[in-house]
């Protein structure tokens, strides 16, 4: 296990270095366009400096599992997924009107403040929103640029391309399904699960593994095993997020306490609680969900209802069962011993965390 932890730390460092180098090159590109572009770089660097690097780690191990050699180029290609993710976060925060991200102001808030400080005219909020749209756009475009500049052989990039394509369409669609669920008041466990499948399970785990495996030219049996591992592990990962979004410690999550409740997120945890709660308690949950000015004592009541209904325990049981199913799917898969061991460790990292 010590070896796997060291390997993960080495992957994270390689990913961070690749991102720093890429952003450094974009510094020169943006500076040539004009000094007004430079505030983007601090924002982008900050966005890319955090995170668990889970998607690149899965991409890397998909590659190694299928026999790809360890090299800087695969870490660069895998790091491109961090640009895609940062883009999604910036647009997500704007759509959700979330004010913070990883303990920093969200990008639309940063640029609204910049507008005010600089003494610009017009609406600061509209300026902040527009800047967030454009910065999300540029990082989405850079995903592709970084992937293609990774230095991997063109055959590998060509094999990976359709997976990268699917991944982008799926995560963007998943975000829309989430939006529709919230707007339509779809609050069943099934509709929440559909969002989790596209917005998280495929996007965070299955597709990054597929991308690495496809680049390495894996057989289809490997891809099937990665689906068997990735979907349940992705569900477990999201359920952990659901729990942290209500019960997590802000110091560790970087998000406000019970932020998911105030933002009205229709999570699986919340759907389970509504199904199990009595009528009065379900009403309490419905009233709290999406109430931006929810007091801390009302939030504490919500947490008590979720725990008291048994939904929290059920969620924990689902996390454990899905993580177990994920690891079992690797049995007999045609992958290297080293990759199997790393993927078992990553299953723990993805589900047994505080932030």
Q: Stretches 62-70, 126-134, 220-228, 277-285: which one binds a copy of itself (CB under 8 A)? A: 126-134
Distance (Å, rounded) from C-alpha 133 to C-alpha 94? 8
**87 alpha carbon, distance to own chain's centre:** 11
**Which of residues 64, 101, 159, 168 is near a copy of itself by CB under 8 A?**
168
Q: Identify which of residues 73 and 345 has a Cβ nearer to a copy of itself in the complex.
A: 73
- Distance of closest approach, residue 5 Cβ to a copy of itself, in angstroms: 34
Question: Taking CB under 8 A as the rule, which mask of x and - marks residues 278-317 in contact with a copy of itself?
Answer: ------------x---------------------------
Q: Identify which of residues 194 and 324 has a Cβ nearer to a copy of itself in the complex.
A: 194
Site size for a copy of itself (CB under 8 A): 58
Residues 221-280 that bind a copy of itself (CB under 8 A): 264
Q: Identify which of residues 106 and 257 has a Cβ nearer to a copy of itself in the complex.
A: 106
Q: Stretches 62-70, 168-176, 211-219, 306-314: which one binds a copy of itself (CB under 8 A)? A: 168-176
Instruction: Please tell me whether residue 140 binds a copy of itself under the rule CB under 8 A.
Output: yes
Q: Identify which of residues 156 and 347 has a Cβ nearer to a copy of itself in the complex.
A: 156
Q: Identify which of residues 14 and 160 has a Cβ nearer to a copy of itself in the complex.
A: 160
Per residue in 301-327, is it b (16+ CB within 10 Å) or e — as a string? bbeebbeebebbebbeebbeebbebbb
Residue 122's SS3 state is coil
Asked whether 292 and 262 are in contact (CB, 8 A), the reply is yes
Q: In this structure, what token pair is assigned to residue 160?
A: 């990976």
Q: Stretches 92-100, 243-251, 297-305, 346-354: which one binds a copy of itself (CB under 8 A)? A: 92-100
Asked whether 264 and 284 are in contact (CB, 8 A), the reply is no
Per-residue DSSP letters for 310-334? THHHHHHHHHHHHHHHHHHTTTT-S
Per-residue DSSP letters for 61-114? HHHHHTTPPP-HHHHHHHHHHHHHHHHHHHHHHHHHT--EETTEE-HHHHHHHH
Q: Identify which of residues 7 and 131 has a Cβ nearer to a copy of itself in the complex.
A: 131
DSSP state of 26: H
Report CA-CA distances (Å) from 61 to 34, 48, 74, 181.
Answer: 40, 21, 10, 33
Q: In this structure, what token pair is assigned to residue 288?
A: 């709290």
Backbone angles phi, psi at 3, to 5 degrees: -65, -45
**Which of residues 71, 177, 294, 320 is near a copy of itself by CB under 8 A?**
177
Per-residue DSSP letters for 188-204? -HHHHHHHHIIIIIIII
- Distance of closest approach, residue 327 Cβ to a copy of itself, in angstroms: 27
Instruction: Please tell me whether residue 182 binds a copy of itself under the rule CB under 8 A.
Output: yes
Residues 20-39 that bind a copy of itself (CB under 8 A): 26, 29-30, 33-34, 36-37
User: What count of residues does the chain have?
Assistant: 355
Instruction: Please tell me whether residue 87 binds a copy of itself under the rule CB under 8 A.
Output: yes
Residues in Cβ contact with 137 at an 8 Å cutoff, skipping those fewer than 6 apart: 87
Q: Stretches 13-21, 87-95, 217-225, 347-355: which one binds a copy of itself (CB under 8 A)? A: 87-95
Q: In this structure, what token pair is assigned to residue 12?
A: 């994270």
Please give the residue ranges that form the binding site for a copy of itself (CB under 8 A). 26, 29-30, 33-34, 36-37, 40, 87, 91, 94-95, 97, 115, 118, 120-122, 126-127, 129-131, 133-134, 136-138, 140-142, 144-145, 148, 154, 158, 161, 165-166, 168-170, 172-177, 179-180, 182-185, 194, 198, 264, 290
């Amino acid at each position: 296990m010590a070896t796997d932890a060291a390997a993960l730390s080495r992957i994270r460092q390689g990913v961070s270095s690749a991102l720093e180098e890429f952003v450094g090159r974009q510094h020169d590109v943006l500076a040539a366009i004009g000094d007004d572009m430079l505030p983007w770089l601090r924002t982008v660097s900050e966005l890319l400096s955090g995170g668990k690097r889970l998607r690149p780690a899965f991409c890397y191990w998909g590659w190694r599992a299928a026999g790809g050699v360890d090299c800087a180029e695969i870490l660069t290609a895998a790091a491109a997924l961090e640009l895609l993710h940062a883009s999604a976060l910036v647009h997500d925060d704007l759509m959700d009107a979330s004010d913070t991200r990883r303990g920093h102001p969200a990008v639309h808030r940063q640029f609204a403040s910049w507008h005010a400080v600089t003494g610009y005219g017009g609406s600061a909020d509209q300026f902040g929103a527009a800047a967030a749209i454009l910065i999300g756009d540029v990082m989405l475009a850079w995903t592709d640029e970084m992937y293609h500049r990774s230095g991997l052989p063109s055959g590998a990039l060509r094999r990976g391309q359709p997976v990268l394509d699917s991944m982008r369409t799926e995560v963007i669609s998943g975000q829309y399904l989430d939006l529709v669920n919230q707007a339509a008041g779809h609050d069943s466990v099934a509709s929440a699960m559909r969002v989790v499948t596209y917005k998280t399970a495929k996007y965070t785990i299955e597709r990054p593994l597929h991308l690495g495996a496809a680049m390495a030219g894996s057989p289809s049996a490997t891809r099937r095993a990665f689906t068997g591992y990735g979907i349940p592990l992705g569900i477990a990962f999201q359920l952990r997020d659901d729990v942290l979004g209500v019960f997590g410690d802000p110091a560790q999550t970087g998000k406000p306490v019970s932020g998911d409740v105030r933002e009205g997120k229709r999570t699986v945890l919340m759907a389970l609680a509504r199904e199990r709660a009595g009528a009065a308690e379900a009403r309490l949950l419905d009233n709290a969900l999406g109430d931006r000015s929810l007091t801390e004592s009302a939030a504490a009541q919500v947490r008590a209802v979720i725990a008291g209904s048994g939904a929290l325990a059920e969620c924990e049981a689902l996390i454990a069962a899905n993580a177990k199913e994920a690891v079992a799917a690797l049995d007999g898969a045609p992958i290297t011993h080293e990759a199997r061991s790393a993927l078992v460790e990553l299953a723990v990292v993805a589900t047994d965390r505080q932030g």
